[in-house]
Structure 1
Amino acid sequence: MNLDQRLLKLAYNLPLPLFLSVLLGFLAGICLVLQAYTLSKIIYIVFLLHGSLQDVYPLLGGFLGIALLRATFTWTSDVTAQHLASHIKADLRHRLLDHILSLGPSFIRQERTGEMVSILFEAVEALDAYFSQYLPKLALAALIPTSFLFFIFPLDLTTAVVLAFTAPLIPFFMILIGSATSTLTQRQWRVLSRLSAQFLDTLQGLTTLKIFGRSREQVKFIAEMSETFRQSTMNILRVAFLSALVLEMVATISTAIVAVEIGLRLLYGRMSFDHALFALLLAPEFYLPLRSLGARFHMGAAGVTAAKRIFDILETEEPIYKAVQHPMLSKIPRITFHKVHYQYEDRGVAAVQDVSFCLHPGNKLAFVGPSGSGKSTIADLLLGFIRPSQGTVFVDDLPLDSIDPSFWRSFVTFVPQKPYLFDGTILENIRLARPKASPSEVQQAAELAQADPFIRDLPNGYDTQIGERGQRLSGGQVQRIALARAFLKDAPIVILDEATANLDPENEFLIQEAVSQLIKNRSTLLIAHRLGTVIDADQIMVMHEGRMLEAGTHTELMDQKGLYARMMAAYQGSTSQTSLETSGLIGENV
């Protein structure tokens, strides 16, 4: 009957709205019984006993009062159920987002952003009808017909028996037809997820599609997916309409059977008119809750399918920390990797293997190596986004996985090669590092990052709206905003995914000046793309296929005449300072 224990648990966590919705709906059903009984008495007195209107004034007043009361109960029941659904949706969205944030970037990299957005919005929204309509109707479909039988049995045993035996036919056909609905609904959600993800990819990659002249093909592909979604939706509606037709036929035939057997007994004088009319008025209303449930059966199937997608994320296990704590760490903690090994689930080869090194307080440690050598994996391990498969990362003398991740990240700032700026003002974006920072503190951080001059030249200064991903700023300006964040955070450990890569000389000079200020009196882990930035490092680690091939200072590595020396020779022989990727020997970091 489209029930999911996890969804029921969500409803049980808010028992009062669910209880009130069902109770008020049940009271509306009782009012319907009283209305039928009052109306049968009015008709009996006026038409058979030839009574006057004055004789039925009290009954007419009661009938109108009960009708008003029933409408009030029905409206309040619907509003309460909607209140329940709204609370559950808001709570689920909060839990989903919180859990995704806890799972971290390593989880997001395995998923399509569009599908995640689809789950957060469309899938959660599909639960609205489940909680506000399907679940209350399911409870009322059991309660109201049973209560009707309670009133009919003492007055007319035959009609009660007919109703009791025909009522199960409707749930039987619902379950029979519903099995097909479940399969179709799952297919519809899969198509919708792919469509949402593809549409988002198209918007984000619009420039690339235009450059390569592939926008029309992409539009055609989305149109084909939209048509597939339309067909899957129509298939569900077709089954829904068919089920509604079947249930209406069952209810109509059952009501007709009741009418015929009542008519025959009236004809032979075996039943009083008022009791016959009362039973006849109640007969179609007896099946109404069951028919209402049948009309919403596809909503239940959609809710259960959506719940599967939602709980697949919520039940993804978070990293388990041995003992979450806020230890007393050094002002600039010592970082030690001891025989660290990590392998991504979707890859057959380890990203890092048997890596050991120590980042001493205040030192600059640089990583160089080909694409796929594991440089960014080491950064993710240090940030606590992933945990070693083997080995240990130590902070001072404590295992990193024994420290609360949020507490640990307050000690680390990360400046990626492609920083993400949110749609908002420059002030808001810099304040991400410290939300309570004053405007003067933000300005001071921007000055250190060489960003204040260009910010002041903008129309609204620090209150300038920069658009999604900072699209109204140049690449160099985006990097300087990211550096301003780092200055504002003022963390003792800095991870740099070389911020000067792919920039023009002017911006490169300004950012190098800012970086040199940033790393003063701080521990620095540099993921290098230009060999010129690593020469002054206290220690250089040369990575290849996840292993550390060489380690030492620039002078020591040049004397070894190994991979680093060959890379440096190629770098110095180039006509301009190029990135490691474009040298042909060194690729992008993983």
Structure 2
Amino acid sequence: MANPIPLRDRKHTLELDRWLKNQAKAVKSPLNIAITLGSVNGFFLIAQCWLLAHVLNATAIEHQPIMAVWPYLAGIVGVFLVRAILNYGNQRFTFEAAARLRTDLRAKLFNHIHHLGPAWSREQRSGARATELVDGVEELEKYFSLYLPQKQLAIIIPVAILVFVFPFDWVSGLILAITAPLLPIFMIIIGSQTEKLNRQQWRSLTRMGAHFFDMIEGLTTLKLFNAAQKEARFIGQIAEDYRLQTMKVLRIAFLSSMVLEFFAAISIAMVAVYVGFRLMYGDIHYLNGIFVLLLAPEFYLPLRSMGTQFHARMDALGAIEPIIELLNTQAPTEHNGKLELCLQQAPNITLSNLVFAYPKRDPVLCGVNLTLPAGSRTAIIGVSGAGKSTLGQLLLGFLNPTQGDIMVDETPLAHIAPSSWYQHVSWLPQNPTLFHGTIEENIALSPRLEGHEAALKQAAENAHALDFINRLPQGFQTIVGDRGQGLSGGEIQRIALARAFYKDAPVVLLDEPSASLDPHSEQLITAAIARLAVGRTLLTIAHRLTTIEQSDQIVVLDSGKIIEQGSHDALMALNGAYTERYNQYRKAGL
């Protein structure tokens, strides 16, 4: 037998089990109804065995004609129909409880991920999170729909059977009462060994899903660098590890099932042999003996069913652990501002002594003081890890500063309601996301308003997207796939720019939208950005010389600090960090 589970792991298991039971409180009503219907079904089972015992005793022992037992047969048919209805109701309510819990838990997870924000999401592996949200939550269904109700029925039905068995044959009742605890004891001893294996199996599944998802996203890059076969072999190795983990779990599952069936069979055989000897010596009436023999298998059936569903509990414990970790992940402190912002023109944005540090890490930004003048273009440059993206996310409101203030004109950003601030900001990342839908839906991202079509066409024209949209089969009504499937990189970027023009927000944040584009597309994007910048406060995380040179203000970040700041000509005259960076860009052909 495997080594016993350490005390720490047992406590952890109890905590996970307690968490699952707490979730069940939300659907207490349908679960209680299901348990009640299952219990009533058990009493009708006893009645069915009693009627069947009368039929067997009358026909096989007393040799009565079949017509003499018609009332009993009719009763059996009636009880059978009632039990079928009760069983249907039991399954219906358990399914309802499990479905409601799945829906509520997924909503809770999505809501929590929403509160964690894009800053957290970009650090995660999409495949792992998708596995937890889809497969992980699905694994909980059997726990709530089968294991929890069966756990109660495994107590209620055997006790009810014992109540009826003892008056007819107290010795058989004693045998049943003594052997019954053996089944759950061995079930726990053997089944608990699968706990660690289930966790390993779930980690293997999450790892495989995450890696496979990442590989699909980067398939084009893998093909370009001739690395697809290597990654395919690596996924094959992960899949093989998952197969081996699954087989280990199944081996213990089959072993526990065999043990349960063995002890149940031995116990039933003991009752049968004892009743047989008593019938031989005439110590018990045939009717009573048949009734006890019919009830003996039914006595162990709920216990065996619980043993089968015990593995559903193990699967749920393995799946719920990463879900609880996700729910316990502390979301960044949200802006508690409630002020509704109403900007009539581009604002001045001022960063005062801005400091930001991720939990348990060194500060990413240290005492940043910066002003983004109204209607100006500011470019931020720096090496990777200098804090450029963090600064952008602070301005977007995805992160909150550890120290310092961000002022929008004279209003602290922390006092502005997040939803109100988002209405005044447009954000264009390097790789914008297009959704499955029409071109119109991907640009507008909102219900139709008055003058919608004219604004849509004007936005597309400003973004140099109208010409290629008009060439599409259905124009603005052309369906594109997820992530802009069917469009080129330049076309996707221009549609994203059209979004910014359509929204007409006074503040725009760009993460070098012209990167990784062909020269013609880059020229069109650069011209569109120049048009977009007019009358807006624009901040660009810059990597291209064309973007940097056209900026009114250039900020050089290094290790979270501003080391140089000014116009292109002024910074070149200093012959410092900006000049060095500028020459590096020129040599790299950027």
Report deviation, 1:548.
Answer: 0.3
For the pair 1:483 / 2:497, whether they are aligned, the reply is yes
Q: Residue type matched to 1:364 in 2?
A: R
Matched residues in 1 for 2:250 and 2:407: separation? 58
Report deviation, 1:300.
Answer: 1.1
Matched residues in 2 for 1:7 and 1:490: separation? 47
Matched residues in 2 for 1:569 and 1:158: separation? 96
Matched residues in 1 for 2:433 and 2:175: separation? 68
Residues 321 and 402, structure 1, Cα contact 8 Å, conserved in 2: no
Provide closer, same or farther for how the CA distance between residues 566 and 211 of structure 1 changes in structure 2, counting only shifts above 3 A. Answer: closer
- Counterpart residue number, 1:235: 248
- Counterpart residue number, 2:123: 110
CA displacement, residues 26-53 of structure 1 (integer Å, 9 cap, x when unaligned): 2221111000111112222334444443
For the pair 1:494 / 2:508, whether they are aligned, the reply is yes
Query: Which of 455, 473, 482 is the aligned partner of 2:487?
Result: 473
Q: Residue type matched to 2:523 in 1?
A: F
- Counterpart residue number, 2:530: 516
Report deviation, 1:292.
Answer: 0.8
Q: Which moved more, 1:487-496 or 1:389-398?
A: 389-398
Report deviation, 1:563.
Answer: 2.1
Residues 428 and 497, structure 2, Cα contact 8 Å, conserved in 1: yes
SS in 2 for 1:327: coil
Provide closer, same or farther for how the CA distance between residues 439 and 268 of structure 1 changes in structure 2, counting only shifts above 3 A. Answer: farther
- Counterpart residue number, 1:542: 556
CA displacement, residues 511-535 of structure 1 (integer Å, 9 cap, x when unaligned): 2232122222221112122344344
Q: Residue type matched to 1:151 in 2?
A: F
Query: Which of 264, 276, 282 is the aligned partner of 1:269?
Result: 282
Report deviation, 1:329.
Answer: 5.0
Q: Residue type matched to 2:480 in 1?
A: I
For the pair 1:291 / 2:304, whether they are aligned, the reply is yes
SS in 2 for 1:14: helix
SS in 2 for 1:44: helix
Residues 366 and 525, structure 1, Cα contact 8 Å, conserved in 2: yes
Residues 375 and 543, structure 1, Cα contact 8 Å, conserved in 2: yes
Residues 558 and 564, structure 1, Cα contact 8 Å, conserved in 2: yes
Provide closer, same or farther for how the CA distance between residues 32 and 508 of structure 1 changes in structure 2, counting only shifts above 3 A. Answer: same
Matched residues in 1 for 2:550 and 2:234: separation? 51
What's the TM-score once normalised by structure 2's chain length? 0.91
Q: Which moved more, 1:120-129 or 1:147-156?
A: 147-156
For the pair 1:442 / 2:456, whether they are aligned, the reply is yes
Report deviation, 1:288.
Answer: 0.2
SS in 1 for 2:366: strand
Matched residues in 2 for 1:467 and 1:435: separation? 20
- Counterpart residue number, 2:356: 342
Matched residues in 1 for 2:536 and 2:220: separation? 39
Provide closer, same or farther for how the CA distance between residues 80 and 440 of structure 1 changes in structure 2, counting only shifts above 3 A. Answer: farther
SS in 1 for 2:525: helix
Report deviation, 1:143.
Answer: 1.6
Report deviation, 1:456.
Answer: 0.5
- Counterpart residue number, 2:231: 218
Report deviation, 1:493.
Answer: 0.8
Query: Which of 465, 471, 493 is the aligned partner of 1:451?
Result: 465
CA displacement, residues 114-164 of structure 1 (integer Å, 9 cap, x when unaligned): 111111111111112222222221221122112212222333332222212
Matched residues in 1 for 2:421 and 2:456: separation? 23
Query: Which of 531, 539, 547 is the aligned partner of 1:533?
Result: 547
Q: Which moved more, 1:531-540 or 1:353-362?
A: 531-540
Matched residues in 1 for 2:292 and 2:186: separation? 25
Gaps of 5+ in 2: 1-12
Query: Which of 259, 280, 293 is the aligned partner of 2:293?
Result: 280
Provide closer, same or farther for how the CA distance between residues 442 and 15 of structure 1 changes in structure 2, counting only shifts above 3 A. Answer: farther
Matched residues in 1 for 2:523 and 2:226: separation? 36
For the pair 1:170 / 2:183, whether they are aligned, the reply is yes
What's the TM-score once normalised by structure 1's chain length? 0.91
For the pair 1:429 / 2:442, whether they are aligned, the reply is yes
What is the CA RMSD across the aligned residues, in angstroms?
Answer: 2.4
Matched residues in 2 for 1:441 and 1:371: separation? 38
Residues 329 and 396, structure 1, Cα contact 8 Å, conserved in 2: no
CA displacement, residues 298-321 of structure 1 (integer Å, 9 cap, x when unaligned): 111001211112121122122233
- Counterpart residue number, 1:385: 398
Provide closer, same or farther for how the CA distance between residues 47 and 468 of structure 1 changes in structure 2, counting only shifts above 3 A. Answer: closer
Matched residues in 2 for 1:235 and 1:327: separation? 58
Query: Which of 59, 63, 77 is the aligned partner of 1:64?
Result: 77
Matched residues in 1 for 2:459 and 2:440: separation? 11
- Counterpart residue number, 1:88: 101
Provide closer, same or farther for how the CA distance between residues 322 and 113 of structure 1 changes in structure 2, counting only shifts above 3 A. Answer: closer
Residues 330 and 396, structure 1, Cα contact 8 Å, conserved in 2: no
For the pair 1:13 / 2:26, whether they are aligned, the reply is yes
Q: Residue type matched to 1:288 in 2?
A: L
Provide closer, same or farther for how the CA distance between residues 282 and 402 of structure 1 changes in structure 2, counting only shifts above 3 A. Answer: farther
Residues 347 and 375, structure 2, Cα contact 8 Å, conserved in 1: no
Provide closer, same or farther for how the CA distance between residues 412 and 140 of structure 1 changes in structure 2, counting only shifts above 3 A. Answer: same
Gaps of 5+ in 1: 580-590
- Counterpart residue number, 1:40: 53
SS in 2 for 1:500: coil
Matched residues in 2 for 1:7 and 1:186: separation? 16
Report deviation, 1:498.
Answer: 2.4
Residues 507 and 537, structure 2, Cα contact 8 Å, conserved in 1: yes
Residues 423 and 469, structure 1, Cα contact 8 Å, conserved in 2: yes
Residues 369 and 375, structure 1, Cα contact 8 Å, conserved in 2: yes
- Counterpart residue number, 1:208: 221
